């Protein structure tokens, strides 16, 4: 998959940062010394953590060079490192491992979350948020367009699987911690119709589809995708369309 585009991602910075702030607010650690932002992206979530824990050293890690470049420009002097979370060895100096909207991209990520829990000291916390929208119209429409077009053979194994169940996460984390809290929050984002909804997902879930297509095919894919969005997200009284966006949150204390 091609590198992420930080500029595309940040078109909806306020909406994307809100769940990052909601997750950070629930971390029950008084005065952590070192906090790791896993999948820090362009640094918006790292900035949230710096404000939440002003006395801590906050380090960001990400797999994307473009995202890390934007993060370093946003937070000069910050500690940012390029890593692959699926194979990364968790450091021993962390009091908090935090991740906003990243682990849905890491295949078989439950063992990775377990490794993170085991690396924490007593009283340390793992805090994770992921989109849980696999069955939402926004994502069903992507898969339908992928299966219906001339590109079907190339897109049949496009990544991003459905998340495990809440029970699976609980049972995986609870043996390694004294406290596990899991909840869902359903956001309703007022956006400017199908064009804006498609633009939102160009920075995330649409990437695995569009990256495999030619420029002309991308245009046609998006035309068909937006036609489905028009039906799924009709305009409200002010002309906006409400993008329903469920997210799963987890906070586990060692």
Residue 159 belongs to a domain with what CATH number? 3.40.50.150
Note down the domain range covering 83. Answer: 6-253
Number of domains in the chain: 1
Cα–Cα distance measured from residue 53 to residue 34, given in angstroms and rounded to the nearest whole number: 9
Query: Would you give the DSSP letter of residue 94?
Result: -
Please, are residues 38 and 98 in contact by the beta-carbon 8 Å criterion? yes
Nearest CA among 146, 137, 134 for reference residue 104? 134
Q: Flag whether 1 is in a domain.
A: no
Question: CB neighbours (10 Å) of residue 13?
Answer: 12
Q: Flag whether 89 is in a domain.
A: yes
pTM confidence score: 0.92
For each of the chain's 254 residues, which pLDDT tens digit applies?
A: 554 444 554 556 788 889 999 999 999 999 999 999 999 999 999 999 999 999 999 999 999 999 999 999 999 989 999 999 999 999 999 999 999 999 999 999 999 999 999 999 999 999 999 999 999 999 999 999 999 999 999 998 876 689 999 999 999 999 999 999 999 999 999 999 999 999 999 988 999 999 999 999 999 999 999 999 999 999 999 999 999 999 999 999 99
């Amino acid at each position: 998959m091609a590198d992420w585009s930080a500029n595309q991602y940040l078109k909806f910075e306020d909406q994307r940062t809100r769940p990052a702030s909601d997750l950070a607010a629930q971390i029950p650690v008084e005065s952590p010394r070192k906090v790791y932002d896993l999948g820090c992206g362009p640094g918006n979530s790292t900035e949230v953590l710096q404000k939440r824990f002003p006395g801590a050293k906050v380090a960001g890690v990400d797999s994307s060079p473009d995202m890390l470049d934007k993060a370093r420009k946003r937070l000069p002097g910050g500690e940012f490192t390029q890593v692959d979370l699926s194979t990364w060895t968790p450091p021993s100096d962390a009091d908090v491992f935090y991740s906003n909207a990243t682990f849905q991209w890491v295949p078989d990520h439950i063992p990775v979350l377990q490794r993170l829990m085991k690396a924490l000291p007593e009283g340390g916390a793992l805090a994770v948020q992921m989109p849980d929208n696999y069955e939402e119209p926004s994502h069903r429409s992507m898969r339908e367009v992928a299966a219906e077009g001339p590109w079907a053979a190339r897109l049949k194994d496009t990544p991003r699987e459905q998340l495990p169940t809440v029970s699976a996460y609980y049972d995986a984390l609870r043996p390694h911690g004294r406290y596990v809290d899991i909840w869902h929050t359903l956001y309703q984002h007022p956006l400017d119709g199908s064009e804006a909804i498609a633009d939102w997902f160009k920075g995330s879930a649409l990437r695995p589809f569009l990256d495999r297509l030619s420029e002309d095919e991308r245009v046609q894919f998006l035309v068909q995708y937006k036609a489905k969005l028009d039906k799924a997200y009709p305009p409200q009284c002010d002309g906006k369309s409400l993008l329903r966006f469920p997210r799963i949150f987890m906070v586990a204390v060692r």
